[in-house]
Structure formats: C-alpha cells, structure tokens
C-alpha cells in the first residue's frame, strides 16, 4: 500500500481517473479533483484492508484443507473444516474457546472493578502521593508485562511448589498475572471520565447521609457505565489476543486459550492444517469483531478523547 502525502496523491491519482461513480452533471475533471480521487483512494484502501479477511474466510469454507488448495478464492463451499475443527481430541478447540471466554471475562471484570476503585480514589480524594501515584501509573504502562515474562514464569513455577492451584498451568494463576496490568492504562481512561461527573452530586448525596461506598456504587459507577463498558471490552480484546504469557503459563492443551492453541495448529505444519486453522480463526475472530463494531462509537470516542484534549 503506498503511503503518499496529500499533495502528491492528487497528482498520482488523477491519471487513473475513470471511476464509474462519476455523476454526469459536472465536467468530470472538476468532480474528480474535488471528490473522485477520494473514492479511488477509498476503494484501494478498502481492498487492502479487507482482502486478508476474505482470504481467511474463503480458506475456512474450503475443506480441501491445504495452503495451496486455498488459493482459489471461494472456489468451493463446505463446512468440512469446521467439523474437523471440533473433532480433534488432541486439539480441543471447543475447550480453548471456553477457556478464552472464562479467562477474558474474569480478567476484564476484575480489571474494571480494580481500575474503577483506583480511579475513584484519584478523582474524588486528595491524599499525599496522589500526583506521584498518577505519574507512576503513567510511566509503568511504558513497560509491558511481557518484558518480564521470564521472571513471571519463574515466579509462577515457585508458586506451583507451594500452591499448585495458582502456579504454572493454572488459569487462575494466569488471571492473577494479567491483573498486574489492571491499573495503569485503565485507571487513566476512567480517571478522566470520573472527573467529568460533577462533584456536587457526591456532596449532595453525602449531605443526605450516603457513605462513600454508597456514593461509589450507587452514583458514580452508574454514571460512568459507558467507560466501564469500554474498558472492560478493551481488556477483553487484549486478553483474548495475548500470546506470550499465556503460552508460557498454560502448557496443557486442555487449559490453553485460543491464541496459544491456534498457534500450535500452524506452528509446525503451516500448510497441512491451513483449512482447519482458518476455520478456527474465523470462529475466534467473529465475536471480537462483532463486539468491536457494535461498540465502535464508544471506542472511537474514547480514543479520540485522548488525543483531542491535549
């Protein structure tokens, strides 16, 4: 995909200008200079963006199965790959799906809760070290957890010797590790949002005799539901794609998540398992993409809020 500056693109685009979309009312040149080239850019970018997705969909629906066989796009339609996907006991796709849901939902729920509590403290209370705390959180997120993957592995293997249920191979242990990243990013998103809820509301409630717990659960959390949903969703999407730590912690195929499991499909024999892998990829991607597109408006507004404020 070429990346052009706006000025250059106008020139390059104008020589390929025979878009069927041109209305006949105006001279074509004028229309093209104003809008036509934008459609050319749009169509080209769309092809670039969508093609790999169509490709994997087509491979999933072609039970021929190998990588070579998947090259004729949509030349066959059948569900053989999906059947094969759910009938391999050595690679329990159904289990992986459930595992991913469980780990993702538990982690994101806990993340939202921990993050909201911290954001409430930072937004509504004044205490020593508040500013330093906020800055530290900002700094810490520059260092993703996967940097310390070796230490996490050794720490968990140490924990396994004391409490096996929380150590290596346990999803609970993995969730605990993920919760280490619960503050930071999410606290920031929520902190900004919490600040937009007027403090006069809390004070009114306090005069009426509400405790801080009641204010938190009864007033604040209800008013910031959109940001809770966004943070929860982002955490879920993040966790369901996480590979490094999950691959190190979860070794038993029955306890693995989709990211680790699907990788094992193509790690060794990329070509032979391609069709079945593609079917798995489609099933794994659909819920996440549906959620994302469904909540697109919230996510985008959250995104841009960050960039516009400064």
Residue numbers 81-110 binding other proteins by CB under 8 A: none
Give residues 254-293 in contact with other proteins (rule: CB under 8 A).
259, 262-263, 266, 270-271, 274, 277-278, 281, 284-285, 288-289, 292-293
- Per CB under 8 A, does 307 bind other proteins? yes
CA atoms within 13 A on the CB side of 170: 15
DSSP string covering 158-173, please?
HHHHH-GGGSTT-HHH
Among 12, 79, 87, 195, binds other proteins (CB under 8 A): 195
**Whose Cβ is closer to other proteins: residue 133's or residue 253's?**
133
- Residue given tokens 């943070």 in the structure block: 231
30 binds other proteins (CB under 8 A): no
Q: Is 127 exposed, middle or buried (0-12, 13-18, 19+ CB in 10 A)?
A: exposed
> Measured from the CB of residue 216, what is the shortest distance to other proteins in angstroms?
8
Q: Is 142 in the site for other proteins (CB under 8 A)?
A: yes
- Count how many residues are written for the chain: 310
Query: Segment contacting other proteins (CB under 8 A): 25-33, 78-86, 90-98, 180-188?
Result: 180-188
Site for other proteins in 211-250 (CB under 8 A): 211-214, 216, 234-235, 237-238, 240-241, 243-244, 247-248
Looking at the Cβ atoms of 53 and 102, the one nearer to other proteins is: 53
Q: Which is nearer to other proteins, 89 or 310 (CB)?
A: 310
Task: Kindly state the smallest distance separating residue 249's Cβ from other proteins, in Å.
Answer: 11
User: Can you tell me the distance from the alpha carbon of 51 to that of 36, in angstroms, rounded to the nearest whole number?
Assistant: 23
Instruction: Choose, by CB under 8 A, the member of 16, 29, 180, 218 that binds other proteins.
Output: 180
Smallest CA-to-CA distance from 19 within 3, 2, 38 is with: 38
Q: How far apart are CA 173 and CA 180, in angstroms?
A: 11
At closest approach, how far in Å is the CB of 297 from other proteins? Answer: 11
> Cα separation of 237 and 277, whole Å?
20
- Phi and psi, residue 149, nearest 5°: -60, -35
Site pattern 34..63 for other proteins (x: CB under 8 A): -x--xx-xx--xx-xxx-xx-xx--x----
Minimum distance from residue 86 beta carbon to other proteins (Å) = 18
Report which of 231, 286, 22 is spatially closest to residue 114, judged by C-alpha positions: 231
According to DSSP, residue 243 is labeled -
Tokens of 267: 């790690």
């Amino acid at each position: 995909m070429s990346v052009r500056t706006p000025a250059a693109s106008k020139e390059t685009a104008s020589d390929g200008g025979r878009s069927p979309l041109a209305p006949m009312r105006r001279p074509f040149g004028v229309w093209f200079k104003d809008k036509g080239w934008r459609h050319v850019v749009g169509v080209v970018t769309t092809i670039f963006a969508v093609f790999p997705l169509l490709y994997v969909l087509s491979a999933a629906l072609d039970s021929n199965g190998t990588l070579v066989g998947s090259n004729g796009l949509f030349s066959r339609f059948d569900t053989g790959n999906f059947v094969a996907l759910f009938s391999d006991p050595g690679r329990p796709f159904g289990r992986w799906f459930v595992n991913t849901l469980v780990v993702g939902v538990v982690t994101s729920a806990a993340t939202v809760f921990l993050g909201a509590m911290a954001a409430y403290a930072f937004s509504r209370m004044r205490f020593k070290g508040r500013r330093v705390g906020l800055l530290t959180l900002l700094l810490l997120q520059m260092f993703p957890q996967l940097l310390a993957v070796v230490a996490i592995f050794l720490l968990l293997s140490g924990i396994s010797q004391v409490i096996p249920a929380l150590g290596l191979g346990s999803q609970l242990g993995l969730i605990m590790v993920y919760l280490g990243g619960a503050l930071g990013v999410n606290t920031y998103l929520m902190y900004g949002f919490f600040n937009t809820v007027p403090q006069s509301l809390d004070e009114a409630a306090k005069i009426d005799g509400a405790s801080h717990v009641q204010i938190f659960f009864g007033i604040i959390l209800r008013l910031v539901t959109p940001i809770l949903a966004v943070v929860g969703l982002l955490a879920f999407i993040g966790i369901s794609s996480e590979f490094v730590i999950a691959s190190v912690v979860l070794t038993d195929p029955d306890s693995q998540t989709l990211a680790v499991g699907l990788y094992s499909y193509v790690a060794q024999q990329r070509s032979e398992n391609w069709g079945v892998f593609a079917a798995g990829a489609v099933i794994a991607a659909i819920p996440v993409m549906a959620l994302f597109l469904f909540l697109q408006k919230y996510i985008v507004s959250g995104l841009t809020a960050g960039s516009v404020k400064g």
